[in-house]
Amino acid sequence: MTITMYGIKNCDTIKKARDWLADQGKAYDFHDYKASGVDAATLGRWADVVGWDVLLNKAGTTFKKLPDADKAGIDRDKAIALMVAQPSMIKRPVLDADGKLIVGFKPDIYARELASS
């Protein structure tokens, strides 16, 4: 199984997910979307699978600091544009395990979804 973790290297949740993967002996590639970016096409594919509302981190400080006009009337296209412009608004991590997407980090979900690798 090929695993790619998308996130921001200094994020505490990313650190927990990376530690969990290491403890389980799971090899993965890491894509820092704050340093390397993430394109609208990738976000669009993810949104088609998990929903844009799952990907957009409305609880984070980056989203909360947006002007009210930017927060109003968010739909799929607006959410993707916001996440491309400010990748810190993407919920972390996004794990792509052979096309299976897992958003966020919960050890029990990782254990269940990655059991076959």
pLDDT score recorded for residue 54: 96
β-bridge partners, 100? 97
Show pLDDT as tens, one digit a residue, over the chain (117 residues): 899 999 999 999 999 999 999 999 999 999 999 899 999 999 999 999 999 999 999 999 999 999 999 999 999 999 999 999 999 999 999 999 988 999 999 999 999 999 865
Domain encompassing residue 96: 3-114
Count of domains forming the chain: 1
Active-site residue, 53 included: no
Q: Which residues contact 28 (CB under 8 A, 6 or more apart)?
A: 3, 4, 5, 21, 95
pLDDT score recorded for residue 99: 86
- Domain holding 56: CATH number? 3.40.30.10
Active site residue: 11, 21, 90, 94, which one?
11
Task: Give the separation between CA 117 and CA 97, rounded to whole angstroms.
Answer: 9
Task: Give the separation between CA 81 and CA 96, rounded to whole angstroms.
Answer: 21
pLDDT score recorded for residue 68: 92
